[in-house]
């Protein structure tokens, strides 16, 4: 696998290789090359909004990955030569998920309010209601309303990337700092 480019963690060829052994192979293969490129770039843009442990391998690299990690890090054995498998899987699956639901993060008029931490929103008088958080989980997800939006909408990312992330709010409210 090649290292990330300036716009995406995975190339189309790397994503094709990943999906070749996936239940989603037919769905991914049905996408045009342009759709795959856009989906991978969009997934990368959203993953770039997260705060990561470790540090970039170079001050000049455009993306947050690859990263140097300490011995307790999520991918210490890789040290700047490739992406960890969790990042490959997260990028590929998120790319497909975003392609299939283009309003998953930014919203749209078809939202049913059954996913993520936000229960309802209202523009007049700017009201926003959240699901109750109990024992670190919302009634419909794994992360609280204070977690980054990408983790609220695709909470399975915490299973894959949790050990690599800083400041993941899963149950209690906390202020998340901008990092990276």
Reply yes or no on whether the pLDDT at 90 is more than 90: yes
Task: Give pLDDT, residue 100.
Answer: 95
> Of 106 and 161, which is predicted with more confidence?
161
What H or E segment, with its residue span, contains residue 29? helix 25-29
Backbone CA torsion sign across 7, 12, 18, 19? positive
| pLDDT level of residue 76 (50, 70, 90 thresholds) | low
For 80, counting Cβ atoms within 10 Å of its Cβ (0-12 exposed, 13-18 middle, 19+ buried), the class is middle
pTM equals 0.74
- Cα 106 to Cα 2: distance, rounded to the nearest angstrom: 30
Residue 170 is given by DSSP the state S
- Cα 45 to Cα 39: distance, rounded to the nearest angstrom: 10
CB 151 within 8 A of CB 124: no
pLDDT tens digits for range 117-147: 556 767 777 776 655 544 333 344 567 767 8
């Amino acid at each position: 696998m090649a290292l990330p480019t300036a716009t995406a963690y995975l190339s189309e060829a790397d994503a094709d290789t990943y999906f070749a052994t996936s239940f989603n192979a037919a769905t991914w293969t049905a996408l045009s090359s342009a759709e795959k490129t856009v989906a991978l770039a969009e997934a990368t843009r959203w993953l770039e909004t997260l705060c990561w442990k470790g540090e970039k391998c170079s001050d000049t690299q455009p993306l947050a990955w690859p990263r140097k990690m300490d011995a307790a890090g999520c991918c210490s054995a890789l040290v700047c030569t490739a992406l960890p498998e969790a990042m490959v899987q997260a990028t590929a699956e998120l790319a497909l998920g975003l392609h299939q639901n283009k309003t998953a993060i930014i919203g749209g008029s078809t939202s049913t309010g059954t996913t993520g931490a936000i229960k309802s929103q209202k523009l007049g008088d700017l009201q926003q209601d959240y699901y109750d958080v109990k024992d670190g989980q919302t009634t419909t997800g794994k992360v609280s309303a204070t977690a980054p939006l990408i983790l609220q909408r695709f909470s399975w990312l915490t299973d894959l990337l949790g050990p690599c992330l800083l400041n993941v709010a899963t149950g209690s409210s906390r202020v998340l700092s901008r990092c990276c």
